[in-house]
Amino acid sequence: MKLRKTMKIEPFPGVLTKEFVKRPYITRIGNNGCKRVRAWVLTDEQKEWLCRYYPEVENARLTKVSGIKASSLHRFARILGLKKSEKGMRCIKRKASARARRTCQENGYYDSLRGQQPSEACRKGRARMMQEIRDGKREHPFTVLKRINPRKYRKFMTQRSELRKEMIRKERRRELFGLERKTKINLPIKPYTRSQSQHRYNALKRGYFVMQDCSEGSGYRFIIYYDEKTVRSLLFERNLQADGFKIQQWTETENDVVHVPEQHV
């Protein structure tokens, strides 16, 4: 059969039907037998159609024209002993490569590898997709993947989580050595250690106080204040300083409205 650029496929003959068939099975401990299941069955004309087009046509087109699911298509090919021909595989790979190349060019993937921003068409397409998701006209791709293939979804989310952790680790190293940031990822706040949490709690109990905004960007995360009402302890303050805290006297000014204590016990 001569392979054209886009091979024309005849309509699938007849309609798919399900019948009860005997299917052999074997257990892990070696027991075997046959079970009676309801499965799709092909007629002679449908088998002939599949044998004619399977070797040289991609499976996506076969499933679309015939209505056979991908798993059933693989099962029929295994039963009939069908395989892709060498000529058909070259054509299928060439078409798949062309589609992937065209999609990457439209989405700006090659430009992103060269350090350039995504294309305008890619940004507009993503904005349009997100708007349709918010309007309820379509599902999020992650939601569809989770429903169709939960195993692949879990694998993808695990890889995505590991990639984000690696990006955060690199950005923290750049921040530590004073280098320029490479991404716009929001760095999560480092949690207090167990010792720091206990020292901070004991400081509040003793009459010390801290700022309301204790984020990393505020600069007050590891500062503990005292005033004339605080009963200070030299040994306790040494332990605070050894644990990474700074002890400063509280000086309330008229313009410094940010310095409002969280609590003053």
pLDDT digits (tens, 9 = 90+) for 155-207: 999 999 999 999 988 988 887 788 888 888 887 777 788 899 899 899 988 88
Q: DSSP code of 192?
A: P
Q: Give the whole-angstrom CA distance, residue 93 versus residue 98.
A: 8
Q: Binning pLDDT at 50, 70 and 90, where does residue 261 land?
A: very low
For the chain, which residues make up each domain, given as ranges? 17-90, 105-148, 150-188, 194-249
Look at residue 1 in the predicted model and tell me its pLDDT: 38
Confidence class of residue 245 from pLDDT cuts 50, 70 and 90?
A: very high
Instruction: Identify the pLDDT of residue 6.
Output: 67
**By three-state DSSP, how is residue 23 classified?**
strand
Q: Which residue has the higher pLDDT, 14 or 216?
A: 14
Whole-angstrom distance, CA of residue 237 vs CA of residue 115: 50
Yes or no: say if 78 and 54 are a contact pair by the CB < 8 Å rule: no
3-state secondary structure at position 50: helix
pTM of the entire predicted model: 0.43
CA distance 258 to 244: 23
Highest mean pLDDT among 185-189, 231-235, 257-261: 231-235
> How many other β-carbons are positioned within 10 Å of the β-carbon of residue 9?
15
**Among the residues of the chain, which ranges form H helices?**
44-53, 59-66, 70-80, 86-107, 109-113, 120-134, 141-148, 150-176, 194-206, 234-242
pLDDT in tens, 103-143: 877 777 777 777 677 777 778 888 888 999 999 998 998 99
How does residue 227 score in pLDDT terms, banded at 50, 70 and 90? confident
Long-range contacts (CB closer than 8 Å, 24 or more residues apart) made by 229-238: 229/264, 230/206, 231/206, 231/207, 233/206, 236/202, 236/203, 236/206
Instruction: Identify residue 32 by its one-letter amino acid code.
Output: N
Measure the CA–CA gap between 126 and 123, rounded to whole angstroms: 5
Q: Which residue matches tokens 């921003």? A: 117
What is the SS3 assignment for 102-165? HHHHHHCHHHHHCCCCCCHHHHHHHHHHHHHHHCCCCCCHHHHHHHHCHHHHHHHHHHHHHHHH
Type of residue numbered 135 = D
